[in-house]
Amino acid sequence: MIYDSHIHTEFSADSEMKIAEALAAAGTQGYGLVLTEHFDPDYPGDWVFEFSPEDYWAAYESLRGRDDDLSSGLSLGVECGMMPDHAKALRDFIARAPFDQVIGSIHILDNGDIYEKDYYQGRDKDSVFTRYYTVMAEMVRENPFIDTLAHIDYICRVAPYDNPGLEYERYHEYIDEILRALVETDTAMEINTRRFGDKAVLDELAPVYRRFRQLGGRMVTVGSDAHTPDRVGLNIRTAVDFADSMELVPVTFRNRKAVKLC
Ligand SMILES: [Zn+2]
Ligand SMILES: [Zn+2]
């Protein structure tokens, strides 16, 4: 069964999606789901990306799939925002419920929200992207308990430069550090399909995932990052084919164990 291993329902501050809507959207496509609600403590600005694991479990546990049986297609996960000195807070949070999958993300750089256009005022691409890559590599090492690193290309969604892409050739030394950190900590890498509407993005990402494989990486998760039902499962099949073409192994996590998609 194919899994969309990154979606948000109403336990995430920026999503109003109901669990029934998410399950219906995945069901019509024959996909399983991992809910990955936002836990991003000390988020700057007005957003509060926190939730109660106990309430989450009380609401959804009865829908959760059985251990090691991916045909029962719902896993309960979390997307943890990684910032310096937050590893303990994340560990403590994760210990409060038997999460199936923990994904680690970079949404914040030096206490600035990189989703906000203001962040880029007076900053050129070189300074922002090299900092982004450097922090990401450090956070993978500081948080080796995450199962998969989300959206390496998150910043490319919003960076207001002529070329907002990852540019592996230009930044390969920095990107390789992230990939080495993933391999050394035995962390999977996500293929996030949010930008897959533009097929040129596949060419942009290919050298990064090819290099991950070359350095010893094998496992990838695939996720749409859907916050609305119409985006659940979007381009997931394309991402699985992309992984296969790189000889990477698409997996999802159930009870914190990697299980191959089939
Ligand atoms: Zn994210
Ligand atoms: Zn997300």
Instruction: List the domains of the chain with CATH numbers.
Output: 3-260 (3.20.20.140)
Count CB atoms within 10 A of the CB of residue 117: 11
d(Cα 160, Cα 140) in Å, to the nearest integer?
Answer: 26
Three-state secondary-structure class, residue 261: coil
5 alpha carbon to ligand 2 midpoint, in Å?
10
72 alpha carbon to ligand 1 midpoint, in Å?
25
d(Cα 175, Cα 162) in Å, to the nearest integer?
Answer: 20
225 alpha carbon to ligand 2 midpoint, in Å?
5
79 alpha carbon to ligand 1 midpoint, in Å?
7
Three-state secondary-structure class, residue 153: coil
10 alpha carbon to ligand 2 midpoint, in Å?
12
35 alpha carbon to ligand 1 midpoint, in Å?
12
Predicted confidence at residue 72, as pLDDT, reads 80
- For residues 39 and 50, the answer to whether their CB atoms sit within 8 Å is yes
β-partners of residue 79 are: 38, 103
Distances (CA, A) of 165 to 171, 196, 245, 254: 11, 13, 21, 32
Instruction: Provide the residue-wise pLDDT of the chain in tens; the chain has 262 residues.
Output: 999 999 999 999 999 999 999 999 999 999 999 999 999 999 999 999 999 999 999 999 999 998 878 888 999 999 999 999 999 999 999 999 999 999 999 999 999 999 999 999 999 999 999 999 999 999 999 999 999 999 999 999 999 999 999 999 999 999 999 999 999 999 999 999 999 999 999 999 999 999 999 999 999 999 999 999 999 999 999 999 999 999 999 999 999 999 999 8
β-partners of residue 35 are: 7, 76
Distances (CA, A) of 23 to 20, 60, 75, 181, 261: 5, 12, 11, 34, 18
CA of 43, nearest ligand number: 1
Predicted confidence at residue 4, as pLDDT, reads 98
138 alpha carbon to ligand 2 midpoint, in Å?
20
Question: Please, which residues have CB less than 5 A from ligand 1, an ion?
Answer: 105
